[in-house]
Amino acid sequence: MSIWDASHETMDRERLRALQLERLQATVARLYERVPHYRERLAALGAEPADVRALDDLRRLPFTTKADFRDRYPYGLFASPLADVVEVHSSSGTTGKPVVAGFTRRDLDTWAELVCRVAVMAGVQADDVAQVSFGYGMFTGGFGLHYGLQRAGATVLPMSAGNTARQLQFMQDFGTTVLVATPSYALYLAESIQALGAPDAFRLRLGLFGAEACSEEMRRQIESRIPILATDNYGLTEVMGPGVAGECECRAGMHVAEDHFVVEVVDPTTDQPVPEGEVGELVFTSITRECSPVLRYRTRDLCSVTTERCACGRTLARMGRIVGRTDDMFIISGVNIFPSAVERVLFAIEGIEPHYRIVLGRRGALDTFEVQVEVSEALFNGWMDDLRAFERRVTEELRSALLVRPKVKLVEPGTLERTEGKARRVIDERPR
C-alpha cells in the first residue's frame, strides 16, 4: 500500500490540529477582508478574525448553507478577483439552482494533489489506464478525477459519461484497468460487460466510485458482476469537488483530507456537535482555498466520523458511508425514510435485480408509497403464484425495516431507466 503524501497523511494529530488552526486563522482573515457576506455574518455575531485563538473557536463561527451560495450567485462568495480565477465549476444541481465555485491556479494545484491522494489511496499506480466516465463539464467530477489521476501518473481516458457502447469498446481496446463512475453508472456498465459475455476481453481491476451514495449491498452487486475492487470517494462542489475524502485499500471509511478541511459532525436540529462516532450532519470548513473558501458548510449529508488510526497507517479521520442526504429523505405517514434504507433491504433479497424506484403520490388525504423493483429473469418468467408470494415477501421485509407498508411493484429486468450520472431514486408526485 502506498501513501502519496506521507508527511500529511500520517501526521501526528496534535501537529495536524496546530496546522489546521494556523490555516483556519488565515482563511477567516481572508474571508473577512475580501467577502462582504462573511464580514457581515461575523459582525452580526460580534466576531472578528482575531477571536479565533483555538481550533474549538470554530464552533462560534457562523454556518454557511446552500442558500447562501444561491443568494450570492454566481461570484458573490469569491475571495479572489476574476483576474486570478482560471476555472469555474458548478454543482450538478440535483436539488435546485446550481452552486458556483472558482479555482485559482493554486486551487487547481491543490485539487489535483488531493484527488491524486485519494486515487493512490485506493490503489492507483502509474501503469494504470484510467477511464473517467464521470461527466466532464461544469460538474466537478470529471475534471477533478482527470487532474488527480494524471498527477498520480495514470494514463487518463477522458471519456465523460454516456455512450455506453463506446465506453465498452475503449475499455477493451485501451486496456482500461481503473473505472471512474457513479456507482449507478458503474452497475449499468458492469451489466453491459456481463451481457457481452467476454470477461477475458477486459482488464478492469479497480473502481473509483463516488458522487452519490453507495450502500455495501450496491457495492457487492457491482463486484459480483465484474472482478474489481470498488472504492468510495466523497466530495462536493461547495467544499472543492472530489478529493475531500476517499477510501484506502482497507475500505474502513473515507479518509478526510484534514490538512485542507476541518470536519465537524453536528446534530442537524440542535446544531451541537455529536459525540465522536455518532451519526450527524457533516460540516466542512475549507482552510487552504484561495477563491472559494467556505466556513462551516452544512452539507446536509449524514454520517459518522472517527479519528481512530486506520490499519493503513494514516492518521486522517475517516467518515463512514453517507447514510443519506437530509434533502433525499421523505416522510410517509409521519415516518422519515431515506432511499438508502429501502435500498439496503431490497439488495439483500435473492432474486432482486439492483434497480429500483420509489414513487410517492397522494390519494385523497393519504400519501401513497410505491416501490418498483426489477426481479430476475427466472422469477419474472416463472409461475404467477411464485411471483405473488415473492412480492408479499418483499413487502413484508420493507415493512418490518421501515415501519411503513409500501406497495411493491415487481417489474421485468431491464425496464427501469438506467443512469449515466447520479441515480434519481425518488419520484415525488405529491401536490405541494
User: What residues line the site for ligand ADP (CB under 6 A)?
Assistant: 91-95, 139, 210-213, 232-237, 299, 301, 322, 325
Q: Which does 322 bind (CB under 5 to 8 A by kind): Zn ion, ligand ADP, none?
A: ligand ADP
Residue 243-282 contact track with Zn ion, rule CB under 5 A, x = bound = -----x-x--------------------------------
Cβ neighbours for 281, distance < 8 A, ≥ 6 positions apart: 265, 266, 267, 268, 298, 299, 300, 301, 302, 326
Distance (Å, rounded) from C-alpha 242 to C-alpha 118? Answer: 9
Nearer CB in complex with ligand ADP: 92/167: 92
What percent of the chain is helix, strand and coil (3-state, nearest 5)? 35, 25, 40
Q: Is 96 left (phi over 0), alpha (psi -120 to 50) or beta?
A: left
Phi first, then psi: give them for residue 362, nearest 5 degrees: -140, 135
Nearer CB in complex with ligand ADP: 32/209: 209
Separation in Å, CA 410 to CA 61, 79, 351, 353, 424: 50, 52, 11, 10, 18
Distance (Å, rounded) from C-alpha 212 to C-alpha 190? Answer: 17
317 binds Zn ion (CB under 5 A): no
Q: Which does 236 bind (CB under 5 to 8 A by kind): Zn ion, ligand ADP, none?
A: ligand ADP
Which of 310, 373, 394, 410 touches Zn ion (CB under 5 A)?
Answer: 310
Q: Pick the closest to residue 134 from 115, 120, 153 (CA basis).
A: 115
- Please answer whether residues 118 and 246 qualify as being in contact, where contact means their C-beta atoms are separated by less than 8 angstroms: yes
3 binds Zn ion (CB under 5 A): no
Query: Which range of residues in 8-16, 313-321, 357-365, 399-407 is near Zn ion by CB under 5 A?
Result: 313-321
Q: Which does 95 bind (CB under 5 to 8 A by kind): Zn ion, ligand ADP, none?
A: ligand ADP
Query: Which range of residues in 177-185, 262-270, 287-295, 302-310 is near Zn ion by CB under 5 A?
Result: 302-310
410 binds Zn ion (CB under 5 A): no
Tell me the closest approach of the beta carbon of residue 230 to ligand ADP, in angstroms.
11
Q: Which does 248 bind (CB under 5 to 8 A by kind): ligand ADP, Zn ion, none?
A: Zn ion
Q: Which does 310 bind (CB under 5 to 8 A by kind): ligand ADP, Zn ion, none?
A: Zn ion
Which of 11, 312, 319, 402 touches Zn ion (CB under 5 A)?
Answer: 312
Query: Which range of residues in 312-320, 339-347, 382-390, 415-423 is near Zn ion by CB under 5 A?
Result: 312-320
- Please answer whether residues 219 and 212 qualify as being in contact, where contact means their C-beta atoms are separated by less than 8 angstroms: no
Distance (Å, rounded) from C-alpha 210 to C-alpha 207? Answer: 10
Cβ neighbourhood burial of 65 (10 Å; 0-12, 13-18, 19+): middle
- Please answer whether residues 132 and 142 qualify as being in contact, where contact means their C-beta atoms are separated by less than 8 angstroms: yes
Tell me the closest approach of the beta carbon of residue 334 to ligand ADP, in angstroms.
25
Q: Which residues bind Zn ion (CB under 5 A)?
A: 248, 250, 310, 312, 314
